[in-house]
Structures are given as C-alpha cells and as structure tokens.
C-alpha cells in the first residue's frame, strides 16, 4: 500500500501499483516490509510522573521537575506510536501564571495543544479520594458526599476534561462513598459535558461506580460476571492495566525492595494478577468495551510501554486484533474522538510503522520504525 500525506492529513491510501503519477516535489519514503498502524491511545496515563519502582515517591518531586518529566514522557509516547494520552490524575501545584493551585497535567495539556507533534491529551485534574487511602498531600480528599461534590466542581472549574474518583476506600470491604454520592458527581459532570471515571481495585467499589452511572472503570481488578454484564448493558468502559503485574513481577529480579523480592510479596502479586486477568476475561466475554492503559507514572510502567498492555490483553483472552483495537479505536471511542485510533482518507496522518504484523503478534508494536506525526513537516508518500 501507499499513503499520500499532505499537511498532516491523509490524501489517499492506494495499492502501490495504482499510485498513478506522483508530483516530483513529493518526498517518497520506502517503508518496504513494515506495517501501517493507527496512532495508539494510552487510556490510563499520568504524564507528569516518571514511573519506575519508586513511582509513588516520585509524585512528591518538585513541580518544575515533574513538568520536565512530562516533556520527556511526551517524547517517549510519540516514539512508541502513542498519539493520545488520557491523563487520569496528576499532583496539583500553584501556577505562577495566575497564582492558582491546580493539577499539573492541565498545564501540560494546554502547552501540548499548541504543538501538533506532541501527544494529544485529555486530563482529569487531580485524584478525588477518601482520606486514609493514598499518601496525604497527593490527592484532593473528600470523606462525605457534599465535600466530594464540591471537590468535583472545583476540578471542572479548573479545566479538567473529566473527573477521576478513587473508588477504593480505607476499609477494603467498603466503598469510600455511597452510590447516591457518586451518582450526584456523575450527574454534575454529565450536565457539564464531562465524563467521570474511577480507579477500581475492589468489587465493592466497582459496584458503586457502575450503579451510579459513571462512564468507565480503571483497572477493574476484581470484577464478577454480574458487574461485567451490567457494564456491557450500560456501555461502561473498562480501561485495563494488566501489565502492572508483569512490571511488579520483574522487580523481584531488578530491585531489592522487600515487597517485590520476598516470597510473600511475589505470591501476592501473582494472586492479584490472576484475579485481574480473570476480571478482564469476564468483561471481554460480557461484551464490555475495553480500552488499554499503561498506568505509567501512577504505576511503575514507563511512557513507552503500551505494547506491554496489548500483550497482557492477549494473555487475558483477547485475540491480538481485538487487543490492538483496544489500544486504538476503543480508546478513541472512550475519548469521544471518532478519528483517534483510525486511519482513513481525509483524516489526520496519525499513524506509525512497525515491523511484524500486530494483527496476530502484539510484540510487533515494540518494533517502531517511523512515526508519521513526529517532527518532519515535509509531505511524503510511503
Ligand atoms: Zn493510575
């Protein structure tokens, strides 16, 4: 196949034998032997955070440092073929421009919006969580419904594209808020054209989120078949982040951190991984739309690891082409961006080239050769 690109748009896609005459000023790139893949969507990312084995500590680094981290992550995302980053939580800091304290990722989003070679971004603002769940100072804490609603309102006023709730509570067997409290947040957001998503590590929290009518669950590490069936009926998305467990398992070899190295820690990771794979499998069988996330930054993965999650989805029972769809078109559906994760004539030239066939081998996504939207403004045929 050949693709003609002009000013960042796809003019045509044709069999190479039917290209017809190509004007002499067109720059021809010989991409022989590679596969054209739509730019991917990392539907669960934290662009201001670096990830790695001390991922939570790094969230307390200075805001200027985290803004630098975001620029590095922007490079890594692009080089890995990721066009869209959906940021599901960042630390807040005072912005010198107006003296207002707001989520750092909103600043990154606004900066990247002006540069078509940077990742396209949607940002949730800061995490909204019950006290006693995540380290103090990282999240906006709200223990009661009215506080939660006020905190949600503030995030939207700050310019968040959607809201991120943390549906794990201080007690594992209880959700942090009632269904009514979460429903009020969903209604507020929907009334302003915004979505609500939630971190979901437990079944009890997942049930509250689904019942309350939020738009998606992140992780969904403990779903059952009833929860999955209701998600499918309502159109609730699941954003999978299974590669986390592969990353943590690797830390048994590459760190000396006791919680990864010691037998008990290894077994805990293995058990949670098995349950999480089962959950994604149940969701897939129920027909839930699954988008794909790395959780880079907010977890231990790095910004160029989305291929690892596609591999993990195949392990959970998706066919390779279904897992690729999760990382492309399903992510676009979650964002409400009909052009994200697709290639078509007249659409943006948001594609990249890999070696191998990702329709039957997800590891092909690691072998990126060229990314069409990265700096190179000259028109080209491929
Ligand atoms: Zn996360």
- The model's confidence at residue 23, banded by pLDDT at 50, 70 and 90, is confident
Of residues 210 and 95, more confidently modeled: 210
Specify the DSSP class assigned to residue 329: I
Q: What pLDDT score was predicted for residue 317?
A: 97
Distance CA 41, CA 82 (A): 6
Instruction: Give 45 Cα–ligand 1 centroid separation in angstroms.
Output: 6
Laid out side by side, the sheet with 162-166 consists of 140-141, 128-129, 162-166, 195-200, 216-219, 237-240, 290-292
Indicate if the pLDDT at residue 381 is higher than 70: no
Determine how many CB atoms are found less than 10 A away from the CB of residue 235: 11
Q: Which residues contact 172 (CB under 8 A, 6 or more apart)?
A: 202
Residue 87: closest CA among 65, 101, 102, 104: 104
Q: Find how far residue 174's CA is from the centre of its chain.
A: 26
Instruction: Give 376 Cα–ligand 1 centroid separation in angstroms.
Output: 32
Mean pLDDT computed over every residue of the chain:
96
Instruction: Give 206 Cα–ligand 1 centroid separation in angstroms.
Output: 15
Average pLDDT score over residue span 29-55: 97
Instruction: Give 168 Cα–ligand 1 centroid separation in angstroms.
Output: 13
Instruction: Give 127 Cα–ligand 1 centroid separation in angstroms.
Output: 9
217, two tokens: 């669950």
Instruction: Give 26 Cα–ligand 1 centroid separation in angstroms.
Output: 43
Instruction: Give 331 Cα–ligand 1 centroid separation in angstroms.
Output: 16
Distance CA 204, CA 200 (A): 9
Task: Determine the 3-state secondary structure of 14 from DSSP.
Answer: strand
Distance CA 5, CA 375 (A): 14
Instruction: Give 33 Cα–ligand 1 centroid separation in angstroms.
Output: 36
Indicate if the pLDDT at residue 379 is higher than 90: no
Instruction: Give 86 Cα–ligand 1 centroid separation in angstroms.
Output: 10
Helix runs in the chain, H state only: 55-58, 63-79, 104-113, 145-158, 179-191, 203-212, 225-234, 243-254, 258-261, 263-286, 306-315, 320-325, 331-335
Q: Encode pLDDT of 280-319 as tens digits.
A: 999 999 999 999 999 999 999 999 999 999 999 999 999 9
Q: Find how far residue 232's CA is from the centre of its chain.
A: 20
Q: What pLDDT score was predicted for residue 376?
A: 65
Instruction: Give 202 Cα–ligand 1 centroid separation in angstroms.
Output: 15
DSSP-assigned beta bridge partners for residue 380: 5, 27
Average pLDDT score over residue span 259-281: 96
Instruction: Give 343 Cα–ligand 1 centroid separation in angstroms.
Output: 28
Location of structure tokens 């006791």: 258
Instruction: Give 105 Cα–ligand 1 centroid separation in angstroms.
Output: 13
Instruction: Give 88 Cα–ligand 1 centroid separation in angstroms.
Output: 6
Specify the DSSP class assigned to residue 215: S
Whether 103 contacts 132, CB under 8 Å: no
pLDDT > 70 fraction of the chain, expressed in percent and rounded: 98
Instruction: Give 98 Cα–ligand 1 centroid separation in angstroms.
Output: 28
Instruction: Give 241 Cα–ligand 1 centroid separation in angstroms.
Output: 9
Instruction: Give 375 Cα–ligand 1 centroid separation in angstroms.
Output: 29
165, two tokens: 């709730």
Instruction: Give 75 Cα–ligand 1 centroid separation in angstroms.
Output: 20
Instruction: Give 15 Cα–ligand 1 centroid separation in angstroms.
Output: 42
Instruction: Give 91 Cα–ligand 1 centroid separation in angstroms.
Output: 12
Determine how many CB atoms are found less than 10 A away from the CB of residue 17: 6
Determine how many CB atoms are found less than 10 A away from the CB of residue 95: 16
Instruction: Give 208 Cα–ligand 1 centroid separation in angstroms.
Output: 19
Q: Are strands 82-87 and 120-123 parallel, antiparallel or unpaired?
A: parallel
């Amino acid at each position: 196949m050949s693709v003609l690109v002009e000013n960042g748009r796809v003019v045509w896609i044709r069999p190479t034998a039917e290209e017809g005459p190509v004007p002499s000023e067109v720059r021809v790139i010989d991409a022989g032997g590679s596969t054209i893949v739509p730019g991917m969507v990392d539907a669960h990312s934290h662009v201001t955070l670096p990830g790695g084995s001390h991922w939570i500590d790094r969230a307390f680094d200075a805001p200027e440092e985290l803004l630098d981290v975001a620029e590095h992550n922007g490079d890594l995302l692009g080089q890995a073929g990721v066009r869209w980053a959906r940021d599901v939580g960042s630390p807040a800091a005072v912005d010198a421009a107006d003296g207002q304290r707001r989520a750092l990722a909103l600043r990154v989003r606004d900066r990247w919006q002006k540069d078509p070679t940077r990742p396209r971004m949607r940002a949730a603002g800061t995490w909204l969580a019950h006290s006693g769940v995540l380290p103090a100072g990282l999240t906006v804490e709200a223990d009661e419904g009215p506080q939660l609603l006020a905190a949600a309102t503030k995030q939207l006023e700050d310019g968040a594209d959607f809201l991120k709730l943390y549906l794990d509570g201080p007690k594992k067997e209880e959700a942090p808020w009632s269904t009514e409290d979460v429903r009020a947040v969903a209604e507020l957001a929907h009334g302003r054209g915004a979505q609500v998503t939630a971190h979901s590590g437990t079944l009890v929290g997942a049930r509250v989120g689904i019942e309350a009518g939020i738009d998606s669950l992140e992780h969904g590490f403990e779903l059952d078949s009833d929860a999955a069936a209701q998600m499918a009926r309502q159109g609730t998305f699941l954003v999978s982040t299974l590669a986390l467990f592969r990353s943590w398992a690797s830390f048994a070899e590459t760190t000396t951190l006791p919680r990864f190295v010691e037998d008990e820690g290894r077994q805990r990771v293995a058990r949670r991984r098995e349950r999480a794979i089962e959950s994604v499998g149940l969701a897939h069988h129920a027909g839930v739309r699954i988008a794909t996330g790395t959780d880079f930054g907010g977890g231990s993965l790095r910004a160029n690891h989305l291929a690892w999650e596609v591999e993990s989805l195949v392990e959970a029972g998706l066919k390779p082409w279904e897992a690729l769809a999760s990382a492309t078109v399903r992510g676009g559906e979650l964002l409400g961006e009909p052009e994200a994760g697709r290639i078509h004539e007249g659409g943006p030239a948001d594609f990249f080239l890999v070696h191998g066939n990702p329709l039957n081998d997800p590891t092909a996504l690691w072998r990126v050769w060229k990314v069409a939207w990265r700096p190179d403004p000259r028109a080209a045929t491929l």
